Amino acid sequence: MINQSSAVKFSFGIIVLNGEPFTKYCLRQIYPYAHQIIVVEGGSKKASIIAPPGHSTDGTLESLYEFKKNEDIDNKLQIIVKDGFWKDKDEQSQAYFKIATGDYLWQIDIDEFYKDEDIEKIKNLLVSDPSIDTISFEQICFWGSLNYLCDGIYLHLNSEYHRIFKIEPGYELISHRPPTVIDSNGMDLRSKKWIRSKITKKLGIYFYHYSLLFPKLVKEKCNYYVQPGETHHRGSENWFEQGYLKLNRPFAVHNVYKYPSWLLRYEGTHPEQIEEMRLDIQSRNLKVQIRETIDIEMLLSEKRYLLLRSIMIFLDRILLFKLASIIFRSMKYLSKKVVDVIDKFFMIFTKIEKYLLTAIEIRDHELSKDVDLSEEENAIIIICIHSIFKDKHEMQKNIIDPHQGITIEEFRKLVEYFLNCNYRFISPYDILEGINNKSILITFDDGYANNLNILPILKEYNIPAVFFISIDNVENSKCFWWDVLYREFKNIGVSENEIIKEGITLKTMKTEEIEKYLVDKFGKESFMPLSDIDRPFNIIEIKELSKEKNISIGNHTYNHSILTNYSESEYKLQIKKAQDYLFSLTGTEPIAIAYPSGKYSKKIIDSSKDVGLKVGFTMESIKNYIPMKLQYYDIMTLGRFVIRNDIPLLEQLKNYRYDKIIFNKYMYIKRFMKRIII
């Protein structure tokens, strides 16, 4: 445990391969604050394209040993080198974690820097609160020069960079991407006391990232990512030439170029050692290829670019990623007349933006413990759960995505929490009859057999629940495609972040196309269930489940089709086929549909109503305020909150209850704008 009267001991862990010219500057930056610096040099076979022998070819090792000899006066630096290739970055991370002797591990990249005053803030934070288990940061990403930065949707979707982890006996680092440390009971430290990037951002603490600064390093990064499993980096070599060197794609400046990104001027200061590096470059004491910036200056002086960038930033801030991506993909430089028209409309948009940004600021994920929830408005809170695990051990088997489920014990806590808060548990039929007070509805998506684990709790408390079934998986006894993706990619060493990104890409396709892609890649056997954890219900189980008191069976389309990816005739068939099958199986016609991935349109709603469906569920994270009109965009587009296991359960449940009127107005405005788009 940390002694509050003593300084916090940081063990810095670094993986490096071809880290020049940053090596000595990075070490100098952290040295005064380090109890220990452990550098693991080299790469896996995946990196052989940039370093054939498995070790740095740019002088990084020489810089490390030179620093050790001339500047490591307190013997803090340990250099770990392995003959040949490392298995993967997980093995490299575990190598430094195993010998870390500090109070906290601070994982950094060689091109990642922190300001001295920010490190002091972190030290003071940890000394004042030793119960903190882990800390994350948001990055500032520099591009082509120290005077410009890159920003965009991908960076906002991936704003949690997990860096600092408590070290205690029995703790274990289990993955590099995302960096994950578990305690002696197998609990992810992020499920304990986690200081998220939203908090560190409010404290003015960032990490300054220089990975897109020098052309040589950017090119090597692109070459590295032209690898199997790196789906969001396909075409990286072309991006390097067209996007980075020539700036021909001014809204695809980040190397994850499938998401809109843009350039901005940077007028702030840099960490001390970066300023030292700048002086060394200017005085020619450091020889490194730098990127010319004339084209950047010309771009940032162009009215059309600034206008379109403003629109992108606006859409990004109000979370309309879909519309921003559509504009991005179809973007051509507009005529002056069109730009002038947009400019006038944008004056109105900026006023709306100011209002919405206020709403976003108010809706902070971390609620304080003294928030008053005693006078919340009457509303229906609808919970969406995917998988139920028997315990944390079963969750950590990685047979399916563990983030999409909770344990039996956690489900019991959820039920007891809402009962103690005087919520009434309801069914879809109750919604049709009318609700007058605060209520909660539990829904289970997809049709996992593991959902049967919570039947005893539902019976014990006499609680209704809805199970939305994907028929094709039941009929053919096959796994759900996202579990195949997670399991198979995990087996070949693909990081969880990359698996998530691949899943986002696949969700733009039809289910049949997704399954064919995965079968071609991993074989038909990859869709065979491994256990009761990943298998769907069978026909007998659905029949028996439908006979249970308080249980409703709902429509989730025939093969979990994301309906907006299908033609009108196709999505009508998907809905009707599932409706007919469930009726023939259970003898009861479903009245509720959960749109897969929450995607819907007015025509999809019409088609649902045409086959007898009366209640529709989305994935929009909003409370459903009452009284409720029994019309399209109330009763057929009910919002739901998805329970996840990577955020403390009580924190999630508090958030779901929390009434901030301006936030809910913001959400409903967003829904209205979404309907205009679709």
Instruction: Identify whether the C-beta of residue 169 lies closer than 8 Å to the C-beta of residue 184.
Output: yes
Q: What is the pLDDT of residue 8?
A: 93
Domain boundaries, the chain: 10-219, 379-477+535-662, 479-528
Q: 331 is written with which tokens? A: 């973007």
Give DSSP secondary structure letters for 336-405: HHHHHHHHHHHHHHHHHHHHHHHHHHHS-SS--TT---TTPPPEEEEEEE-EEESSHHHHTT-SS-GGGE
Name the CATH topology of 379-477+535-662. Answer: TIM Barrel (3.20.20)
For residue 229, pLDDT beyond 60: no
Band of residue 225 on the pLDDT scale cut at 50, 70, 90: low
> Mean pLDDT throughout 589-597?
95
pLDDT at 661 over 90: no
Q: Following CA atoms 102, 107, 108, 109 in sequence, which dihedral angle do they give, to the nearest 10 degrees?
A: 130
Which range, of 214-223, 253-262, 446-455, 463-472, averages the lowest pLDDT?
A: 253-262
Q: By C-alpha distance, which of 317, 207, 217, 223 is closest to 262?
A: 317
pLDDT tens, position by position, 42-61: 988 877 777 778 899 999 99
Q: Are 509 and 231 in contact (CB under 8 A)?
A: no
Task: For residue range 279-305, list pLDDT tens digits in order.
Answer: 999 888 999 999 988 889 888 888 778
Q: Give the confidence band of 121 by pLDDT, cuts at 50, 70, 90.
A: very high
The distance from CA 541 to its chain's CA centroid, rounded to whole angstroms, is: 34
User: Which of residues 677 and 520 earns the better pLDDT score?
Assistant: 520
CA distance linking residue 193 with residue 132, whole number of Å: 5
Element (H, E) at 569: helix 568-586
Half-sphere exposure of 380 (CA within 13 A, CB side): 26
- pLDDT value at 181 more than 90: yes
- Asked if 110 and 19 count as a contact pair (C-beta separation under 8 A), the reply is yes
Q: What is the mean pLDDT of residues 258-272?
A: 89
The DSSP letter of residue 36 is E
For residue 195, give the 3-state DSSP assignment: strand
* Percent over 70 (pLDDT), the chain: 85
Instruction: Provide the pLDDT for residue 267.
Output: 86
- Token readout for 67 is 């620093």
Q: Which of 483-492, 493-502, 665-674 has the weakest average pLDDT?
A: 665-674
Residue 224 has pLDDT above 90, yes or no: no
Cα–Cα distances in Å, from 458 out to 167, 454, 588?
Answer: 39, 6, 21
What is the Cα–Cα distance from 214 to 221, expressed in whole angstroms?
A: 11
* Local structure of 645: helix, strand or coil: coil
Mean pLDDT of all residues belonging to the chain: 84
- For the segment 315-355, what is each residue's pLDDT rounded down to a tens digit? 666 555 544 544 544 444 444 455 455 445 544 544 444 44
| Residues 111, 116, 120, 125, CA torsion sign | negative
CB 111 within 8 A of CB 213: yes
Give the per-residue pLDDT at 360: 37
CB of 181 closer than 8 Å to CB of 134: yes
Task: Please give the backbone phi and psi of residue 600, each rounded to the nearest 5 degrees, phi first.
Answer: -150, 170
Q: Phi and psi at residue 110, in whole multiples of 5°?
A: -70, -25
Residue 630 has pLDDT above 50, yes or no: no
pLDDT beyond 50 at 439: yes
Contact 209, 142 (CB under 8 A): yes
Residue 228: asked if its preceding bond is cis (omega within 30°), the reply is no
The lowest-confidence range among 331-345, 389-403, 466-480, 588-602 is 331-345
Q: What is the pLDDT of residue 499?
A: 86
Percent of the chain with pLDDT over 90: 56
Mean pLDDT of 454-478: 95
> pLDDT value at position 376?
77
Give me the pLDDT at residue 659, please: 67
pLDDT tens, residue by residue, 391-428: 888 888 888 888 778 899 999 999 999 999 889 999 99
Indicate if the pLDDT at residue 71 is higher than 90.
yes
pTM tops 0.75: no
CA–CA separation, 623 and 664 (whole Å): 8
CATH of 10-219, one of 3.90.1530, 3.30.360, 1.10.3470, 3.90.550: 3.90.550
Residue 663 has pLDDT above 70, yes or no: no
